[in-house]
Amino acid sequence: MEYNFREIEKKWQSQWVKDKTYHITEDEQKKKFYVLNMFPYPSGAGLHVGHPLGYIASDIYARFKRLEGYNVLNPMGYDAYGLPAEQYAIQTGQHPEVTTVANIARYRQQLDNIGFSFDWDREVRTCDPKYYHWTQWAFQKMFQSFFCNSCQKAQPIDKLVAHFEEKGTEGLNVAESEHLEFTADEWKAMSDVEKQKTLMNYRIAYLGETMVNWCPGLGTVLANDEVVNGVSERGGYPVVQKKMQQWCLRTSAYSQRLLDGLETINWSDSIKETQKNWIGRSEGTEMQFKVAGQDFDFTIFTTRADTIFGVTFMVLAPESELVEKLTTAEQKAEVEEYLAYVKKRTELDRMANHSVTGVFSGSYAVNPFTGENIPIWISEYVLAGYGTGAIMAVPAHDSRDYAFAKHFNLPIIPLIEGADVSEESFDAKEGIVQNSPVAGKETLDGFSLNGLTVKEAIAATKKFVTEKGLGRVKINYRLRDAIFSRQRYWGEPFPVYYKDGM
C-alpha cells in the first residue's frame, strides 16, 4: 500500500496549526524544559542539509520531553543581520529588509514542510526592533558599567567616577585596557572629553583600537572564517590586517569567573579542558625594558621572569605601536616590506603556520638585570592581543624562540643544569638553575639565581622585580575582548551618539 506522505503530512500539519498543538503558555504546575537551536541565517538559497540535520535531533528530544510531561519551550528564529544581505542589496538595488523577509518566508515554508514542533508564537528575528530593543538595552547597561576585580562583577560607572573624584586611581582594582595613574585633582582638571576618553579605558562596552580583517573590496570587516587564503570568501577580494576603531565588550574581565564556573557545570572533562585552554590563565610578571640610547622604555609580560639571564633577543608583534618607534632609518625599508607581507595573513594563519619569518628593527633593549644590549626583532609569531605585544625571547627554553634563534643565528644560553640545547629547546619547567648570571658578569645589586630550583627562582625574581620597581606581578588571560561592529548598515544599530568626537 502506497504511503501518500504529501496528503497525510498536509492533513496533520494543518491540524497541528488549528489545534495550536505546539503553542506553549506558562504553567507553574509543570517542570520546564528549554530546547534551543542555532538560528539559521536566512539566505536566498533556502535551508541547506546541515539545518535539518541538527533540528531533527533536537526536535526528537523536544517531543520526548513533552511526552514525559515537561512544559517544553522549543522556539525558532533567524540570525537575520549580516554581510550577504548587504552584498545582495548592492548588486541588485533591493533593500536588505525586503530580501531578508522574503528569505525568511522561504525558510518558514521549508521548516513547516519538515513538520517540526516549534512554537512559532515565540519566533525571534534579530532584525526586528522588538528584538534588538533588548540587545540595545543590554549594550547600554554594559556601556554604563565597569568591572570590579575585587567583587568580580560589573558596577555602575558612576561609582568609578566617584572614586576618581575622591582618590583618583589610588586603591583601584578594576578591569582596564591600559594601566593609568592619576590623582583626584588631575581628574577634576580634565576636560569633559578627556574624562570620557579616560572612562572608555574602563567601560565594559567600549571603543577600542583592534586589529581586524579589513576587506577594501567589500568595504567591511570580516570574521576569520570569512577569509580563505588571504581573500574574502564572498567575492574573492584581498583582505589585509588593519588597526581600526571597533566597539568591544570587555569579556576578558570575566576570565576568572568563567574558569571558576567550569567547576560547577556538568560538562565532560575534555570540553572543560578545551575551555580552560581557550581562556588561558597564566600567572607572571610585567617588566620594563629601557631602549638603548633613548629616553624610552616598554613593557613585556612573561610567565618566567626567572629566565631573564637567558634573554638573547626581544620580539615585537608586527601590529605593535612600538614597531614605528623602534625601527631605525637604516632598517625602515626592510621592516616596511615585512609588514606588507604580514598584513595579508590572518592571526589564524600565523598561529597555525610555524614557519620562521622576521626582521631586525635596528634598535636594542637593555636587560634590566645585566645592563646588556639585546637586539629587538619583529616577527609574526608574536600576536598583539596577548600580553603587551612584545616578548623577551629565551631560545634555550622555548621552542618557537629556539627556532627563531637558529634561523637568524642568535645566541642560545641554557639556564638549567644538564640541559642539552644542541638540537632543540629544553622546555621542562624544573631543575637547578645555572648561568643566572653567567660567571663573572655583574648584575643589578649582585642578584643571582644560580643553585636554586626553578620554582624558587621564579618566586625570587618576582620578589626582586617588585621591590626594585622593575615591574609588577600580574595574571594574564589568553581570552580576548569581543569585537562586534562588523556590518556597515544591515546590522543592529548601536544606541550611542557622538559629541566632540566621543
**Average pLDDT of span 384-410:** 91
Could you tell me which residue, 84 or 469, shows the higher pLDDT? 469
pLDDT for 242: 84
Greatest CA separation for the chain: 97
In this prediction, residue 487 carries a pLDDT of: 58
| pTM listed for this prediction | 0.79
Q: In 324-405, which ranges are E strands? A: 359-366, 373-378, 390-393
* pLDDT of 488 over the 80 cut: no
Q: Express each pLDDT in 12-30 by its tens digit.
A: 999 999 999 999 999 999 9
> Is the backbone peptide bond immediately before 493 cis, with ω within 30 degrees of 0?
no
Give the percent of the chain with pLDDT over 90: 75
In whole angstroms, give the CA distance from residue 370 to residue 413: 14
Reply yes or no on whether the pLDDT at 158 is more than 70: yes
Q: What is the pLDDT of residues 59-94, one digit of tens each?
A: 999 999 999 999 999 999 999 998 888 888 888 899
Q: Find the angle CA(77)-CA(78)-CA(84) to the nearest 5 degrees.
A: 175
What is the enclosing helix (H) or strand (E) of 65? helix 50-67
Rounded Cα gap, residues 277 and 447, in angstroms: 34
What average pLDDT does range 452-471 have in this prediction? 94
Residue 319: count of CB within 10 angstroms of its CB: 24
Residues of the chain above pLDDT 70, percent: 99
C-alpha cell at 30: 509543570
Q: β-pairing, 124-125 with 145-148?
A: unpaired
Least confident stretch, 266-270, 449-453, 476-480? 476-480
Mean pLDDT of the chain: 92
- Please report the pLDDT score of residue 485 as a whole number: 65
pLDDT tens digits for 373-382? Answer: 999 999 999 9
pLDDT-derived band at 486, boundaries 50, 70, 90 = low
Counts of helices then strands in the chain (DSSP H, E)? 15, 19
pLDDT at residue 16 in the model: 93
Mind listing the domains of the chain with CATH numbers?
5-127 (3.40.50.620), 282-477 (3.90.740.10)
Q: Which three cell numbers stand for residue 408?
A: 637568524
pLDDT of residue 408: 97
Q: Residue 491 has what pLDDT?
A: 85
**DSSP secondary structure, 147-208, as one string:** EETTTTEEEEHHHHHHHHHHHTTTT--B--SS-----HHHHHHS-HHHHHHHHHTTBSEEEE
Predicted local distance difference test score (pLDDT) of residue 325:
94
> Which of 335, 326, 340, 277 lies closest to 298 in space, CA to CA?
326
Pairing mode, if any, of strands 471-477 and 390-393?
A: unpaired
Per-residue pLDDT band at 190 (split at 50, 70, 90) = very high
pLDDT higher than 70, residue 244: yes
Over 232-274, what HEC string results?
Answer: ECCCCCECEEEEEEEEEECHHHHHHHHHHHHCCCCCCHHHHHH
The span from the CA of 175 to the CA of 154, in Å, is 10
CB 473 within 8 A of CB 496: no
> Cα dist. 388→213, 291, 308, 315, 392 in Å?
20, 16, 17, 11, 11
Residue 220: beta bridge partners? Answer: 215
Q: Report residue 37 CA to chain centroid gap.
A: 25
Is 80 exceeded by the pLDDT of residue 1?
no
Cα–Cα distance, 21 to 248 (Å, whole number): 43
Read off the pLDDT of residues 282-319 as tens digits, 9 standing for 90 and up: 999 999 999 999 998 999 999 999 999 999 999 999 98
Q: What is the mean pLDDT of residues 343-356?
A: 81
| 386 pLDDT tier (thresholds 50, 70, 90) | low
Which amino acid would we find at residue 393? A
| β-pair partners for 228 | 231
| Contact partners, residue 50, CB within 8 Å, separation at least 6 | none
pLDDT tier, 222 (very low <50, low <70, confident <90, very high otherwise): confident
- Examine the pLDDT at 40 and tell me if it is beyond 80: yes
